[in-house]
Amino acid sequence: MKKLTIPDIIKRKGGEKLTVLTAYDASFARLLDAAGIDMLLVGDSLGNVLLGYESTVPVTMEEMLHHARAVRRGSSAFVVADMPFLSYQISVEDAVRNAGRFYKEAGSDAVKLEGGKEVCGAVQAIVAAGMAVMGHIGLTPQTAANLGGYKVQGKDADSARRLLAEARALEEAGAFAIVMECIPDRLAKVITESVSIPTIGIGAGAGCDGQVLVTHDLLGMFDKFVPSFVKGYANLAPQIKDAVSAFRDEVRAGSYPDAKHSFTMQLEVDKLFTEEG
């Protein structure tokens, strides 16, 4: 599958839907790439899914870079890396420098920032420095506490108008696409039709230009919390537990490894050692 470019992605606006999934390591990146997924997102959700954090807030630049490098090694697809909390909020200079690290050190094709008008200065500066930015509005996990928790956003007229204004501001700042998370489907459709760049929905209905999910949610591998908008295409957690339990039982019973899963010698070892002694 040919790797998408920024112009390719923008041309998909209003056409064939874009597919985006999270990837955190080379093995999953290779599988998703082989399945024809358009873009891989190295999400700071790895804090919840892989590192055991209660939220995405503790995730560091070094952790994100470590996983972004792994994904790049495993895939030739278009890779977007999440900029973690406080890597772009303190100053525009920090934002450009940290975005550049994803390009230089991890080979990412774009970075993603959460927020609306308050991050447009950083978006504009990163784009001016020659890098691509994906926006993220609606429920922004890094600042979920300020939004009253993990709740649907844009449910009243004022907040709906604010989200529309944020999407337009991000487009004007130079973002090539916008993730919209936990937004009512009708509002997401209106925003999608009001901007000229693709929108990627996650809990935002079918009216977006594409969809993104956390891969571990899609595969049923993360059962600590599953958002209501997630459709499980597999339920691997029980299968993994069953397989691991079977291994445990066979090892304890001495039935694994058996002859089929062992290496045999032509010589009789006991006789060989006796002769040498």
Q: Name the catalytic one among 114, 166, 171, 181.
A: 181
Distance separating alpha carbons of residues 96 and 211, to the nearest angstrom: 27
The CA distance from 260 to 215, in Å, is 35
42/68 Cα distance (integer angstroms)? 6
Would you say how long the chain is, in residues?
277
Alpha carbon distance 59, 63 (integer Å): 7
What 166-171 contacts at long range (C-beta under 8 Å, 24+ apart), as own/partner pairs, is 166/115, 166/116, 166/117, 166/137, 167/116, 167/135, 167/137, 167/191, 167/194, 167/195, 167/199, 168/194, 168/195, 169/116, 169/117, 169/120, 170/116, 170/120, 170/123, 170/135, 170/137, 171/195, 171/196, 171/197
Q: Is 275 a catalytic residue?
A: no
**C-alpha to C-alpha distance for 175 and 197, rounded to whole angstroms:** 8
Q: Which residues are catalytic?
A: 181
